[in-house]
Amino acid sequence: MSAACIFCQIAAGAIPAKLVYEDAEVVAFPDINPAAPVHLLIVPRVHIETLADCENQHQALLGKMMGLAPRLAREHGVGFEGREGAGGFKTLVNTGPGGGQEVYHLHVHVLGGPRPWKAR
């Protein structure tokens, strides 16, 4: 854990957040400044700064984070309902200044709900 890192502190319970999911490796909670009606962040407990810092050892963790996205989307009413349905969601990982990353602790955004959304 990095004491200076906001997501480490949320994952450790040192800063309160409404966790919508937690297990030994991952937590998820609503974005404080939502860009869409549903905007969740999936965050590993381990401090990895960016997607570009991930190594082979992190493949299972990355898979878990991506695999969690459709489940959390479904639980928040924006799950994929097939190509004819209205449901569905966006998964997003920003990396570095060029990618618009603001918090340097790896996270997957899950966005969904009626548009328009704020640009993200």
Q: Which of 4, 16, 24, 33 binds ligand 5GP (CB under 6 A)?
A: 33
Q: For ligand 5GP, which residue of 57, 102, 115, 119 counts as binding (CB under 6 A)?
A: 102
User: CB neighbours (10 Å) of residue 36?
Assistant: 21
- Which span sits near ligand 5GP by CB under 6 A: 31-39, 45-53, 66-74, 82-90? 31-39
Q: Give the span between the Cα atoms of 109 and 4, in whole angstroms.
A: 21
- The conformation of residue 52, written as its DSSP 8-state character, comes to G
Which of the stretches 22-30, 34-42, 64-72, 99-107 binds Zn ion when contact is defined by CB under 5 A?
99-107
| Residue matched to tokens 């928040």 | 76
Helical H segments across 12-78, by residue range: 59-75
Q: How far is the CB of 112 from Zn ion (least distance, A)?
A: 25
Q: Which is nearer to Zn ion, 15 or 60 (CB)?
A: 15
Which of 11, 26, 27, 29: binder of ligand 5GP (CB under 6 A)? 29
Interaction between residue 11 and ligand 5GP (CB under 6 A) = no
The answer to whether 26 and 65 are in contact (CB under 8 A) is yes
Residue 108 φ/ψ, nearest 5 degrees: -105, 125
Question: What residues are annotated to the active site?
Answer: 107
